[in-house]
Protein backbone atom coordinates (compact mmCIF):
# COMPACT_ATOMS: atom_id res chain seq x y z
CA UNK A 1 0.00 0.00 0.00
CA UNK A 2 1.24 3.43 -0.94
CA UNK A 3 0.89 6.30 1.51
CA UNK A 4 1.29 10.00 0.76
CA UNK A 5 2.25 12.51 3.43
CA UNK A 6 2.73 16.17 2.66
CA UNK A 7 3.88 19.33 4.34
CA UNK A 8 6.26 22.24 4.39
CA UNK A 9 8.98 20.50 6.46
CA UNK A 10 10.96 23.66 7.14
CA UNK A 11 13.51 22.87 9.86
CA UNK A 12 12.80 19.20 10.60
CA UNK A 13 11.83 18.58 14.23
CA UNK A 14 10.53 15.63 16.32
CA UNK A 15 6.91 16.40 15.35
CA UNK A 16 7.79 15.91 11.68
CA UNK A 17 9.61 12.65 12.43
CA UNK A 18 6.60 11.39 14.40
CA UNK A 19 4.17 12.34 11.60
CA UNK A 20 6.25 10.65 8.90
CA UNK A 21 6.84 7.54 11.03
CA UNK A 22 3.12 7.31 11.77
CA UNK A 23 2.31 7.79 8.06
CA UNK A 24 4.83 5.10 7.06
CA UNK A 25 3.05 2.71 9.41
CA UNK A 26 -0.17 3.13 7.40
CA UNK A 27 1.28 1.25 4.41
CA UNK A 28 4.35 -0.25 2.78
CA UNK A 29 5.70 2.67 0.78
CA UNK A 30 5.83 6.30 1.94
CA UNK A 31 5.82 9.13 -0.60
CA UNK A 32 6.27 12.64 0.76
CA UNK A 33 5.25 15.77 -1.13
CA UNK A 34 7.10 18.91 -0.05
CA UNK A 35 5.02 22.08 -0.39
CA UNK A 36 6.55 24.59 -2.80
CA UNK A 37 7.70 27.72 -1.03
CA UNK A 38 5.75 29.87 -3.47
CA UNK A 39 2.51 27.98 -2.71
CA UNK A 40 2.64 28.27 1.09
CA UNK A 41 0.03 30.84 2.06
CA UNK A 42 -1.45 29.63 5.33
CA UNK A 43 1.66 30.48 7.36
CA UNK A 44 5.06 32.12 6.91
CA UNK A 45 6.99 31.01 3.83
CA UNK A 46 9.66 28.37 4.51
CA UNK A 47 13.16 29.59 5.28
CA UNK A 48 14.82 26.74 3.38
CA UNK A 49 14.57 26.14 -0.37
CA UNK A 50 12.23 23.59 -1.91
CA UNK A 51 15.13 21.36 -2.89
CA UNK A 52 16.86 21.51 0.49
CA UNK A 53 13.67 20.59 2.33
CA UNK A 54 13.06 17.72 -0.12
CA UNK A 55 16.61 16.43 0.32
CA UNK A 56 16.39 16.47 4.13
CA UNK A 57 13.04 14.65 4.10
CA UNK A 58 14.36 12.11 1.57
CA UNK A 59 17.26 11.34 3.93
CA UNK A 60 14.91 10.07 6.65
CA UNK A 61 14.83 6.28 6.86
CA UNK A 62 11.02 6.05 6.92
CA UNK A 63 10.69 7.94 3.61
CA UNK A 64 10.79 5.94 0.39
CA UNK A 65 10.27 8.81 -2.06
CA UNK A 66 10.24 12.60 -1.65
CA UNK A 67 9.36 15.21 -4.24
CA UNK A 68 8.54 18.89 -4.43
CA UNK A 69 4.88 19.55 -5.14
CA UNK A 70 3.39 20.74 -8.41
CA UNK A 71 3.58 24.41 -9.37
CA UNK A 72 -0.17 24.95 -9.48
CA UNK A 73 -2.12 21.72 -8.86
CA UNK A 74 -1.54 20.16 -5.46
CA UNK A 75 -3.38 17.00 -6.56
CA UNK A 76 -1.19 16.38 -9.65
CA UNK A 77 1.50 14.45 -7.71
CA UNK A 78 -1.22 12.46 -5.95
CA UNK A 79 -2.66 11.45 -9.33
CA UNK A 80 0.85 10.40 -10.38
CA UNK A 81 1.54 8.40 -7.21
CA UNK A 82 -1.96 6.84 -7.01
CA UNK A 83 -1.80 6.21 -3.25
CA UNK A 84 -4.04 4.05 -1.08
CA UNK A 85 -3.86 6.48 1.84
CA UNK A 86 -3.22 10.18 2.30
CA UNK A 87 -1.89 10.77 5.81
CA UNK A 88 -2.48 14.22 7.23
CA UNK A 89 -0.56 15.54 10.20
CA UNK A 90 -2.73 15.65 13.30
CA UNK A 91 -2.66 19.47 13.36
CA UNK A 92 -2.43 20.28 9.65
CA UNK A 93 -4.96 22.85 8.46
CA UNK A 94 -6.38 20.62 5.72
CA UNK A 95 -10.06 19.61 5.57
CA UNK A 96 -10.19 15.81 5.25
CA UNK A 97 -13.72 15.84 3.82
CA UNK A 98 -12.75 18.43 1.20
CA UNK A 99 -9.69 16.41 0.23
CA UNK A 100 -11.76 13.23 -0.02
CA UNK A 101 -14.31 15.01 -2.24
CA UNK A 102 -11.56 16.24 -4.59
CA UNK A 103 -9.99 12.76 -4.71
CA UNK A 104 -13.39 11.26 -5.56
CA UNK A 105 -14.01 13.86 -8.28
CA UNK A 106 -10.66 12.95 -9.87
CA UNK A 107 -11.27 9.21 -9.63
CA UNK A 108 -8.45 8.66 -7.11
CA UNK A 109 -9.42 5.72 -4.90
CA UNK A 110 -7.77 6.33 -1.55
CA UNK A 111 -8.68 7.20 2.01
CA UNK A 112 -7.67 10.22 4.07
CA UNK A 113 -6.34 9.51 7.57
CA UNK A 114 -4.96 11.70 10.36
CA UNK A 115 -1.66 10.87 12.04
CA UNK A 116 -1.62 10.70 15.80
CA UNK A 117 -0.33 13.61 17.91
CA UNK A 118 3.07 13.54 19.54
CA UNK A 119 3.29 14.92 23.02
CA UNK A 120 6.49 16.73 23.98
CA UNK A 121 8.96 14.35 25.62
CA UNK A 122 10.45 17.02 27.89
CA UNK A 123 9.60 20.53 29.07
CA UNK A 124 11.53 22.53 26.48
CA UNK A 125 10.93 20.35 23.41
CA UNK A 126 9.55 22.32 20.47
CA UNK A 127 7.24 20.62 17.95
CA UNK A 128 6.68 23.59 15.66
CA UNK A 129 9.02 25.21 13.15
CA UNK A 130 7.54 28.60 14.04
CA UNK A 131 8.32 28.02 17.72
CA UNK A 132 11.88 26.97 16.84
CA UNK A 133 12.38 30.13 14.77
CA UNK A 134 10.92 32.26 17.57
CA UNK A 135 13.34 30.70 20.07
CA UNK A 136 16.29 31.31 17.73
CA UNK A 137 15.28 34.95 17.41
CA UNK A 138 14.80 35.29 21.17
CA UNK A 139 18.13 33.67 22.02
CA UNK A 140 20.35 34.82 19.15
CA UNK A 141 19.14 38.26 18.08
CA UNK A 142 19.87 41.43 19.95
Residue 75 assigned ligand-binding role: no
How many helical (H) and strand (E) elements, i.e. helices and strands, does the chain have?
5, 5
CA dist 49 and 88 (Å) reads 22
Residue 15 assigned ligand-binding role: yes
Bridge partners, residue 32, by sequence: 5, 66
Are 75 and 102 spatial neighbours (Cβ–Cβ below 8 Å)? Answer: yes
Return the closest-CA partner of residue 127 out of 101, 76, 90, 82: 90
Residue 9 assigned ligand-binding role: yes
Helix residue ranges per DSSP H, 43-111: 50-58, 76-81, 96-105
Residue 80 assigned ligand-binding role: no
Residue 89 assigned ligand-binding role: no
Residue 94 assigned ligand-binding role: no
Pairing of strands 2-7, 29-34: parallel
Residue 41 assigned ligand-binding role: no
Are 132 and 11 spatial neighbours (Cβ–Cβ below 8 Å)? Answer: yes
Residues within the annotated binding site for ATP? Answer: 8-9, 13-16, 91
List, as residue ranges, the binding site. Answer: 8-9, 13-16, 91
Amino acid sequence: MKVVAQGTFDIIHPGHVHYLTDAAGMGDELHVIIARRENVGHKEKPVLSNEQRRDVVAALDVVDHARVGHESDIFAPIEDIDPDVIALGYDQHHDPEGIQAELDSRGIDCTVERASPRDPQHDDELLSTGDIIDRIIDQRCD
